[in-house]
Amino acid sequence: MSAEKPNPKAPGEGGRLMAFAFRHLAGPPEVQGAVQGGSDQAREAWKRDLERRKQWSREQRERKRAERAARRAGG
């Protein structure tokens, strides 16, 4: 017989109860289509919203650059 002990578990890994809960009570490990999103309209709306946000950020950066340039030139 071997005198080796089983590998110790990392702190927070849980014991038999947590293993049972995750194996039998938790939902499926992945959801079909979760990454791709819902409908085509929802994806397009998300893309439009993202582009509007990027445009707003670009405008804000440009506004701040212009303010700094004006302060340097006039200040």
pTM: 0.46
pLDDT band at 1 (very low <50, low <70, confident <90, very high): low
More confident residue, 15 or 62: 62
Residue 54 confidence class, pLDDT cut points 50, 70, 90: very high
pLDDT for the residue numbered 5: 63
What is the three-class DSSP state of 5? coil
**Exposure on the CB side of residue 69, measured as CA atoms within 13 A:** 6
- List pLDDT tens digits, range 14-46: 778 877 777 777 766 666 555 555 788 888 898
